[in-house]
A and B are shown apart, each in its own frame.
Chain A
């Protein structure tokens, strides 16, 4: 054997301090001990500091009365607790993030495609947009949109009217908006049914087409089904639904009042007990029964007749409304009533976030489409697929695989960036937490809750991204 040529070395075990595995274990133990020591030191400081100020760490403050108002989102009364304030803040964050994500995606995809356009003018404009937006801080943009643009819009009396769409003023936007009325509540079930029917029909049609060896389709038939069921449902609801029993009204000063269902049958309107009836057409009658004016109740059941002059009404009658009405904003005195009001803070924040995020999304879309080799287009055309089918079946699946993960991270960025709402005074999660902190002085608890909530958004997003990456990763055989 070759043993002979080598000098015989005595079999010696490596000393433990030269053993790589041992060093690793020791290093980790040392690391953990250091972390624990640092953590203990910090916690001890907190404990000592709290004790020195005579304070205790507890979560009881969550049940205290908040005592402040939250101008947007779900109803919040000053008598509600801090706990509910925090929840309302979180809902407000999701309210702006959810709409923002949808709008930013639409705008971003449009700009991304524009940047790839063969049209020089369109391409150049899109590039200028992206470069300007990406290279200025979001906070500057938010300040600009809110303080410079929205707040210097004309006041409500001179509001800019967009026929059919709504009005814009420095008090925000009031959109014409469809609302489901008191007779239309049954229609929601029809809509749900229409959706289920459409999905089923779509799947059935797709199977049928595939069995015939055709390219997959079925979207058209599904949409048609949805439309058909929804329209039938609308008619049926309108014919069968009736106005609720014991409807009554209050009429004050001959021209205003509230229309409601008298739930406790005491003949007077009680704010939290009786149910106001929104979007019902009401007619004002004079003493002799002649009709003086017509209006529609607002979303809180209130009505007011204007332009009556000296006349005063004696009673009102009402008509059964259609299941859905489109409420248009109208000027009444110094206020705009009706429609869907959007506060200037919400509008400014949404505008800033959407325009900012769309620039980043457009870059992702562009990179995604560019990542599909030109040969893929050519090959699918050579196979006889038309342009639409090429895009749908060859290019998009490959582009999406590249684009979806960075896209979700942009969605998450938008959600996190919505914390800049404090800059424009929109009461989001962060803004509300700040108010709670200032009032209650519970810094650590708020810190934990705030970070925990944002982290859970982030973890949900990354769980989705990981799932998607696993599903879409190239199956190499």
Chain B
């Protein structure tokens, strides 16, 4: 062939290559970064200068305001903000829940790692802050104990073979035990057991305690309903499918506040005569659960759609029954695919519980608002409205942002879409 006559018409010096010249100082290091990110063109430079002027005028003012603002009313009301009207002499009960929660998070964080560990670390930081904060009371000691339990739990989970099943069972039991501790006992079939004195009625539960309670119970009750609705919406039985579609679209079409309000006003109408009205907290939980279930269903449906058809067929080929197929093949894959979205939903629910303030519950937001009307602060010049609302917002921000930060690493670990 003609190949043999090929001669290169470019001569390349392979023996003595010139060493690469150094990049000019304007392209690397701090200078290079500045040029690429702030001054890449005339327009960009102008934009940078303009923004810098705005930042430069605003930030010192904001810092000065924060330093001068009167944060004392918020600090003085820390008990109100934390637990609302919960009787002061019974504070040991919610504290026990916190200790139990710390221990459980410690063990789970050590055992499962990833997002749970991140949340456990976040909880640990908060406990540490309260342990060292000069509250000058038993709170410091109790927070210290909770922190110690968290650390011990973490070590147990990390180095001892705790079975997943036991841990999961502990979490399932956590909610009833927590409620029992909160009300201070239990009344069952005429038998009453209240070791710490009279029961604490739920209208005294408040503050961050109530907000977390609504969030945790809301998400745990709505999760099974949401999964069932998602499966129902994909069912090939039309009666069930249309019912699920109607439910989901109805709930997603109306605002949460209208559901909450209706749970307060209309729900009693639907109860049989002679049945006592459920407590306000219970009604709020019902509304939040019904609301959240519809949104969860749509998220889970996305996960179900992401499970390849081959997985169903393979499960069929292995001879798994319908329930086994769902539990062992479909749901684990579907739920894993949507964990980040579920965390997002959890954060959304946490924020949405603030709406119960509009139907008269003393959640964290309303506890904060009640600080505003305390007569002790009426003499403060300029009022304390800014301080109180900013403090409320910062607490919500820390929790929500913390959770979204904790879940951020998750997407990489799970390798969503990469398996």
A451 touches B258 (CB 8 A): yes
A102 at the interface (CB under 8 A from B): no
Nearest CB in chain B: distance from A382 CB, A: 22
Residue in chain B with minimal CB distance to A132: B397
A-side interface size class: 35 or more
A121 touches B55 (CB 8 A): yes
Residue in chain A with minimal CB distance to B386: A148
- Point out the residues of chain B lying under 8 angstroms from A117, CB to CB: 47
A45 touches B271 (CB 8 A): yes
A46 touches B269 (CB 8 A): yes
Cα separation A466 to B57 with both chains bound (whole Å)? 47
A447 touches B262 (CB 8 A): yes
B385 touches A147 (CB 8 A): yes
Cα separation A144 to B236 with both chains bound (whole Å)? 48
Cα separation A42 to B268 with both chains bound (whole Å)? 11
Which residues from 427 to 468 on chain A have a C-beta closer than 8 Å to any C-beta of chain B?
A: 430, 434, 437, 443-444, 447, 450-451, 454-455, 457-459, 462
- State which of A118, A125, A455 has its C-beta within 8 Å of the C-beta of B37: A118
A388 at the interface (CB under 8 A from B): no
Nearest CB in chain A: distance from B121 CB, A: 18
Contact digits for A14-42, partner B, Cβ 8 Å, 1 yes 0 no: 00000000001001110110010000011
Nearest CB in chain A: distance from B58 CB, A: 10
A458 touches B252 (CB 8 A): yes
Contact digits for B386-406, partner A, Cβ 8 Å, 1 yes 0 no: 100110110011001100100
Residue in chain B with minimal CB distance to A430: B258
Give how many A-B residue pairs fall within 8 Å (CB-CB): 156
- Point out the residues of chain A lying under 8 angstroms from B389, CB to CB: 140, 143-144, 147-148
Nearest CB in chain B: distance from A39 CB, A: 10
- Point out the residues of chain A lying under 8 angstroms from B240, CB to CB: 27-28, 31
Nearest CB in chain B: distance from A352 CB, A: 12
- Point out the residues of chain B lying under 8 angstroms from A119, CB to CB: 37-38, 40, 44, 47-48, 51
A422 at the interface (CB under 8 A from B): yes
A333 at the interface (CB under 8 A from B): no
Nearest CB in chain A: distance from B129 CB, A: 19
- State which of A28, A121, A137 has its C-beta within 8 Å of the C-beta of B354: A137
Determine chain B's interface SS by DSSP, over half rule: helix
State whether A136 and B400 are in contact (beta carbons under 8 Å apart), knowing that A28-B239, A422-B358 are contacts in the complex: yes
Cα separation A434 to B261 with both chains bound (whole Å)? 9
- Point out the residues of chain A lying under 8 angstroms from B273, CB to CB: 45, 48-49, 52
B239 touches A32 (CB 8 A): yes
Cα separation A138 to B385 with both chains bound (whole Å)? 17
Q: Which of A137, A419, A430, A451 has the most CB of B within 10 A?
A: A137
- State which of B252, B266, B397, B401 has its C-beta within 8 Å of the C-beta of A444: B266
A243 at the interface (CB under 8 A from B): no
Cα separation A140 to B262 with both chains bound (whole Å)? 22
Nearest CB in chain A: distance from B361 CB, A: 13
A122 at the interface (CB under 8 A from B): yes
State whether A42 and B270 are in contact (beta carbons under 8 Å apart), knowing that A120-B38, A137-B354, A137-B365 are contacts in the complex: yes
Contact digits for B28-51, partner A, Cβ 8 Å, 1 yes 0 no: 000000001110100010011001
B52 at the interface (CB under 8 A from A): yes
- State which of B51, B237, B253, B351 has its C-beta within 8 Å of the C-beta of A455: B253
- State which of A420, A451, A459 has its C-beta within 8 Å of the C-beta of B257: A420
Cα separation A131 to B383 with both chains bound (whole Å)? 28
Nearest CB in chain B: distance from A41 CB, A: 8
B352 at the interface (CB under 8 A from A): yes
Cα separation A357 to B365 with both chains bound (whole Å)? 21
B249 touches A458 (CB 8 A): yes
Cα separation A443 to B262 with both chains bound (whole Å)? 8
- Point out the residues of chain A lying under 8 angstroms from B62, CB to CB: none
B397 touches A136 (CB 8 A): yes
B318 at the interface (CB under 8 A from A): no
Nearest CB in chain B: distance from A164 CB, A: 21
A139 at the interface (CB under 8 A from B): yes
Q: Which of A117, A121, A434 has the most CB of B within 10 A?
A: A121
A423 at the interface (CB under 8 A from B): yes
B396 touches A140 (CB 8 A): yes
- Point out the residues of chain B lying under 8 angstroms from A422, CB to CB: 257, 358
- Point out the residues of chain A lying under 8 angstroms from B66, CB to CB: none
Which residues from 28 to 74 on chain A have a C-beta closer than 8 Å to any C-beta of chain B?
A: 28-29, 31-32, 35, 41-42, 45-46, 48-50, 52
B257 touches A419 (CB 8 A): yes
B236 touches A31 (CB 8 A): no
B352 touches A121 (CB 8 A): no
A457 touches B55 (CB 8 A): no
Cα separation A423 to B355 with both chains bound (whole Å)? 10
- State which of B37, B51, B392 has its C-beta within 8 Å of the C-beta of A140: B392
Cα separation A330 to B125 with both chains bound (whole Å)? 55
B253 touches A454 (CB 8 A): yes
Cα separation A29 to B392 with both chains bound (whole Å)? 51
B254 touches A135 (CB 8 A): no
- Point out the residues of chain B lying under 8 angstroms from A248, CB to CB: none
- State which of B36, B252, B269, B383 has its C-beta within 8 Å of the C-beta of A152: B383
B193 at the interface (CB under 8 A from A): no
Contact digits for B4-27, partner A, Cβ 8 Å, 1 yes 0 no: 000000000000000000000000
Q: Can you list 30 A-B contacts with CB-CB less than 8 angstroms, sorted by A residue number?
A: A27-B237, A27-B240, A29-B239, A45-B271, A46-B270, A48-B272, A119-B37, A119-B38, A121-B52, A121-B55, A122-B51, A135-B404, A136-B351, A137-B355, A137-B365, A140-B389, A140-B393, A148-B385, A148-B389, A419-B255, A419-B258, A420-B358, A422-B358, A443-B266, A444-B269, A447-B266, A450-B254, A454-B253, A455-B254, A458-B253
Q: A135-B347, A437-B265, A458-B252 are in contact. List 10 more A-B contacts (CB 8 A).
A: A35-B243, A118-B40, A119-B38, A119-B44, A143-B389, A151-B385, A420-B355, A434-B261, A451-B254, A458-B254
Q: Shortest 6 CB-CB distances between A and B: which pairs?
A: A458-B253, A120-B37, A135-B400, A28-B239, A137-B354, A137-B351
| Chain A interfacial positions (CB closer than 8 Å to B) | 24, 27-29, 31-32, 35, 41-42, 45-46, 48-50, 52, 117-122, 125, 131-132, 134-141, 143-144, 147-148, 151-152, 416-417, 419-420, 422-423, 430, 434, 437, 443-444, 447, 450-451, 454-455, 457-459, 462
| Chain B interfacial positions (CB closer than 8 Å to A) | 36-38, 40, 44, 47-48, 51-52, 55, 236-240, 243, 249-250, 252-255, 257-258, 261-262, 265-266, 269-273, 347, 351-352, 354-355, 357-358, 365, 369, 382-383, 385-386, 389-390, 392-393, 396-397, 400-401, 404
